[in-house]
Amino acid sequence: MTDMDSLAAADRRLQAAQLAADADVLDQLLDDRLVFTGPDGAWYSKQDDLELQRSGQQVLTEVTEEELTTVVVGDTGVTLFRGRLAGRLRGESFVAHVRYTRTWIKTAAGWRLLAAHVTTTT
């Protein structure tokens, strides 16, 4: 498997873990130094993300990948995701078309997500 293939597999594993609210898998995939920029511009940490999953404050009912592009340079990878999400966030239902830019680092244990940004699209 090429680095680009393994990176795409890691991103898809992340998508599946988000859909299943599987905090254990997310804990493995997210680097401890994770910085996530939400659609509101606020920064969130790995612990913030895991708490969102464990508390049930975020429940995804759909994660549909429409496009996934991968770029690998050395031990750094970037995934560009375009797709549709649906679910509930802090009690509010939502459906959104989104783009994620995710920066990954390759470790002995596999790809770990270091930074991410999401924006909604029309």
pLDDT value of position 29: 99
Round the average pLDDT of the chain to a whole number and report it.
Answer: 97
28-50 burial, b for 16+ CB within 10 Å, e for fewer?
Answer: ebbbeebebeeeeeeebebeebb
Span 46-63, average pLDDT: 96
> Is the dihedral angle over the CA atoms 117, 101, 120, 50 positive or is it negative?
negative
Kindly report, residue by residue over 60-111, the tens digit of the pLDDT.
999 999 999 999 999 999 999 999 999 999 999 999 999 999 999 999 999 9
- The whole domain housing 53 covers 3-121
Residue 33 has pLDDT above 80, yes or no: yes
* pTM attached to this predicted model: 0.95
How many domains is the chain built from? 1
CATH number of the domain residue 51 falls in = 3.10.450.50
Kindly report, residue by residue over 57-67, the tens digit of the pLDDT.
999 999 999 99
